[in-house]
Structure 1
Amino acid sequence: MLVGDAGAQDGPLDSSSWEQIVTEHSARVYRLAYRLTGNAHDAEDLTQEVFVRVFRSLHTYTPGTMAGWLHRITTNLFLDQARRKQRIRFDALTDEAAHRLPSALPTPDVAQAERLFDADVEQALASLSPEFRAAVVLCDVEGLTYDEIADVLGLKLGTVRSRIHRGRAQLRKALAHRAPGPGRTRLSGPRPQLATGGAR
């Protein structure tokens, strides 16, 4: 059973699908993991833990959107880590899975994830609570709608709106010194959508 780039899955998964899932989605998962954790080492640990969880949960996957499933696993593992206030424990892979998982993600993907924001923005994101950070990253970096974020996080829509609104407000405050003005240059790289307009 193959999983297409668009993330659609037409039937139950089995272990033969796992290698292709890793190949097609590892860069995307790493990018999200990096935005959530704020550093390459933790992002690599989180990415590998995600695919350990995927491998162990293939039999429970029901037809749907692969990307949404991976968003949910990645974000919930990150939040679990934050609640425990300790590093994610890296569970050993089975022999069957270990030889299939790349030892490192492709360098261009890692470099792209690490240069999205400069140090000020990274620090501002890191200052948010894990719950606010997850909501803002899913919305303003990953481009998910409020409804999709509510599904990923298992929250009511109103709670999602509140977390994004409050997270953006905290980012605006933290980045106030970077606001464009006469003689000021714009923030390099993609900027968080700090406006608090209507629903996505």
Structure 2
Amino acid sequence: MERFERYLEKFRGPIFSYVYRLVRDEATAEDIAQETFVRLYKELDRIRDQTASAWLYRVARNLVTDYIRKKRPVTFTVLRGKSREDDDESPSLQFEHPGRGPVGTTTNNELRELIDETLEAMSPKFRDVLELVDIQKLTHEEASKVLDCSVKTVSARLARAREFFTNRIARYVETGDEDEPDSVAGG
């Protein structure tokens, strides 16, 4: 029971946040996160400490997929930061806080909307990798277990997703054009 409580304390917030970003409904996210931990409790004896994080995210992702199949399409929100495994050659975005007040709030809302639209323009295989590595801060190895693909595939998809994301945001900042199609968006 102590081991389960330790996992619950460590992962409750991150799992809820991950699920919420996918379903965008607090009650549904809470239900899915709770079911994730119910399954953890039932399978606790089979799970090693080294793989618990990846196992939890994978179960949560599968439960979200089941929910989406039954209910509605998935959407994603805000991208932040860099992963623990980034090198200097990987494109990344860092935004300065535009400040408080009406101008800062408007800028923040516009940026959030642009980020959401950019993420939604990506195919799920790129969006998922970006979500797990850049937002949830999983390692490439952990993300590969969640996504059931190789670490090399995670790295390649992440590089393409970041490039697409960076180029689209940069183009918008330079020209104001966010509708121009990009090749990585669909595939």
What TM-score results when the alignment is normalised by the length of structure 2?
A: 0.57
- Counterpart residue identity of residue 151, structure 1: K
Secondary structure in 2 matching 1:118: helix
The aligned residue for residue 153 of structure 1 is 147
Question: 136, 144, 169: which one pairs with 1:142?
Answer: 136
The aligned residue for residue 9 of structure 1 is none
Contact 2:12 2:33 in 1 (8 A): no
Q: 1:31 to 1:53 in 2, by over 3 A?
A: closer
Q: 1:138 to 1:53 in 2, by over 3 A?
A: closer
Secondary structure in 1 matching 2:2: coil
Offset, 1:178: 4.7
- Counterpart residue identity of residue 166, structure 1: R
Deviations 1:176-196 (A, max 9, x none): 24548xxxxxxxxxxxxxxxx
Matches within 5 A, 1:153-172: 153-172=147-166
The aligned residue for residue 115 of structure 2 is 121
Offset, 1:55: 0.9
Aligned counterparts of 2:65 and 2:169: Cα–Cα separation in 1: 24
Contact 2:132 2:143 in 1 (8 A): yes
Offset, 1:29: 1.5
- Counterpart residue identity of residue 145, structure 1: T
Offset, 1:155: 0.9
The aligned residue for residue 36 of structure 1 is 22
Extract unaligned runs of 5+ from structure 2.
74-108, 175-187
Secondary structure in 2 matching 1:78: helix
Question: 34, 41, 44: which one pairs with 1:51?
Answer: 34
Aligned counterparts of 2:67 and 2:155: Cα–Cα separation in 1: 23
Contact 1:50 1:74 in 2 (8 A): yes
Aligned counterparts of 1:79 and 1:131: Cα–Cα separation in 2: 13
Deviations 1:72-117 (A, max 9, x none): 22223334555x37349xxxxxxxxxxxxxxxxxxxxxxxxxx9x7
Identical positions, percent: 24
Aligned counterparts of 2:54 and 2:122: Cα–Cα separation in 1: 23
Contact 2:8 2:37 in 1 (8 A): no
The aligned residue for residue 71 of structure 2 is 86
Aligned counterparts of 2:151 and 2:165: Cα–Cα separation in 1: 21
The aligned residue for residue 110 of structure 1 is none
- Determine which structure has the larger helix proportion and give its number: 2
Extract unaligned runs of 5+ from structure 1.
4-12, 89-114, 181-200
Q: 1:146 to 1:57 in 2, by over 3 A?
A: closer
Matches within 5 A, 1:182-197: none
The answer to whether residue 50 in structure 2 is matched with residue 67 in structure 1 is: no
- Counterpart residue identity of residue 147, structure 2: L
What is the aligned length? 136
Contact 1:36 1:137 in 2 (8 A): no
- Counterpart residue identity of residue 58, structure 1: Y
